[in-house]
Amino acid sequence: MSGDRPTLPPVRLNSEAELARDALSAPLLARAVRLARWAGPDTRVGAGGELVEEQLPAAATELGLGDDQDGPAYASEAWRVAVDTGLVDVQDAPEASGDEDEDGEGTASVGENLGVLTAGSPSDVLAIWLDAFDVVFADATAPMIDDFADLVGEDGEIDFERLEWDPEEEADFLEGVLGNLYLLTVSEGGTPEGPVPLPALAASMIVPDDMGEPTDDILEQVSDAMMRLDDQFRLLEPIGLVEYEPVDEALMAEVGDEPAPPVDDEDVARYGMVRLTPLGLYGVRARMLEAGVDAPAVGDLADKGADALLDGIAYFPEFSARAETEQWLARRQPADAARELLAAARGNDAGGPLRRLHCQQALALTGASAEPAVRQVLPDPELGGLARVWLAERGALDVPPPSETMIFWLAIDTIAAQLAVEGDLEELQELVEGLVGQHSGFFDAAWRVEHPATADVLEAMGRLHPDKSTAKDARKAAFKARSRV
């Protein structure tokens, strides 16, 4: 596979307006907004900007969680998001004199970003949501501390080594999980498929690709990873990143604290199911792009030139390539689009055949007003063949027949394009058999074709054709083509 190919399939994202609405309705961000509006002169915060413990019940009540025993914890989490996303501004306590309490309390007020969130553009809203996602991501990769006192050394200082926690390793693990979930979630059509079983997601991070039957040690690591992910997805769901069905707590009661991975599909849902939401696809892709990962989205090429379009969709799945092309065509007049596409399809470089294939597919989506531009290239040795195909498919009259040279050049070019995309082997074999069967003495003429891929195509035909004698003729023709060069 070419190193120029994108490593991820293109994703079909919802519009920014739809995504912004999803962001505003995410439970955690909605709670952060309510607390930002609630904040005032009487709001008391600690040295780190956190609400003081005495104010957490009032904050929970503001969120409608006053009767929930976890209400204060939810309020604390939402407040932290409000502070870290700029929905709330925190003012530190005045500096204390030497004989006053050093742990003075600060105050809070409405932050500038609250106005941006309520009156800004969809992209403004999404930028704030991404900041909130970062806050939750940091929480999800933070260590679990059962007893803080156990971390305090004899000198009264916190001994972080006792945590056995590597923040970079934890972040890399969750980034990898979300990357795998993104890949597993995006179908070839560029849209989300069904939920992913948690055991499969955990195994994708633990089990080596070349391992057959997992060992007991590997299965134990998968179980550990499942429990780790169960906690993390419970944190990520309220920000709107995922839809998550947690691990059935009854399983842990049955087999202890860590359930073994399921051995069949009957009860796989009990082990946790997760899928990225449309907003989650947007968020994970944003992090990938920031990290320099090639994560294309349908629509990225709509405002670019035809050369960028044909190169960009070169290895897209068929459905995504069509969707991208439709968006590109929608912004142009058919005649102008046809001229631009045909000009971009020229070239005897290695990518030329694939550009011409996608050019032909793009022209198939245009109307009759593209005909004059197509007729202009009828004499062109590179484009004349595909122009005749386009005109014939529309029943056009007065189309001059192609020369034998053009027929064989188009045959070589077509097979070269199919080889480049590593298409369906059976379809490729049928194409090869069909071309050879339609033209007597095919290889006697084909090896003389002035095309940079002639020898490679003939060698491939030798491998693909089921008839041994014909395959031998193809290999001989390939040798002649190389010798001629």
Q: Reduced to 3 states, what is the DSSP secondary structure of residue 197?
A: strand
Rounded to two decimals, the pTM is 0.81
pLDDT, one tens digit per residue, over 218-231 is: 888 888 889 899 99
Angle of helix 122-140 relative to helix 278-290, nearest 10 degrees, comes to: 80
Q: Reduced to 3 states, what is the DSSP secondary structure of residue 156?
A: coil
Helices vs strands, H then E, count in the chain = 22, 6
Answer yes or no: are the C-beta atoms of 399 and 388 closer than 8 Å: yes
Q: Are strands 242-245 and 273-276 parallel, antiparallel or unpaired?
A: antiparallel
Q: What is the mean pLDDT of residues 64-72?
A: 93
Tell the burial category of 407 from Cβ atoms under 10 Å away from its Cβ (0-12, 13-18, 19+). Answer: middle
Sequence-distant (≥ 6) Cβ neighbours of residue 298 within 8 angstroms:
10, 11, 12, 13, 190, 320, 323, 324, 327
Percent of the residues in the chain that have a pLDDT greater than 90, as a whole number: 62
Given this model, what pLDDT does residue 67 score? Answer: 92
Given this model, what pLDDT does residue 1 score? Answer: 36
pLDDT, one tens digit per residue, over 93-123 is: 665 544 444 456 888 999 999 999 989 999 9
Q: Are strands 106-110 and 44-45 parallel, antiparallel or unpaired?
A: antiparallel
- Give DSSP secondary structure letters for 385-436: HHHHHHHHHTT-SSPPPPPHHHHHHHHHHHHHHHHHTT--HHHHHHHHHHHH
Tell the burial category of 132 from Cβ atoms under 10 Å away from its Cβ (0-12, 13-18, 19+). Answer: buried
- Give, in degrees to the nearest 5, the angle at Cα 202 between 161 and 232: 55
Using CA atoms, how far apart are residues 218 and 224, in angstroms rounded to an integer?
A: 10
Q: Identify the helix (H) or strand (E) that includes residue 44.
A: strand 44-45
Q: Give, in order, the Cα–Cα distances in Å from 391 to each of 110, 120, 270, 358, 376.
A: 65, 50, 57, 16, 12
- The chain-wide mean pLDDT, for the chain, equals 87
Structure tokens at 37: 């509006």
Using CA atoms, how far apart are residues 178 and 176, in angstroms rounded to an integer?
A: 5
* HSE-CB of 63 using CA atoms within 13 angstroms: 30
Given this model, what pLDDT does residue 97 score? Answer: 46
- The DSSP secondary-structure symbol of 90 reads E
pLDDT, one tens digit per residue, over 339-395 is: 999 999 999 999 999 999 999 999 999 989 999 999 999 999 999 999 999 999 999
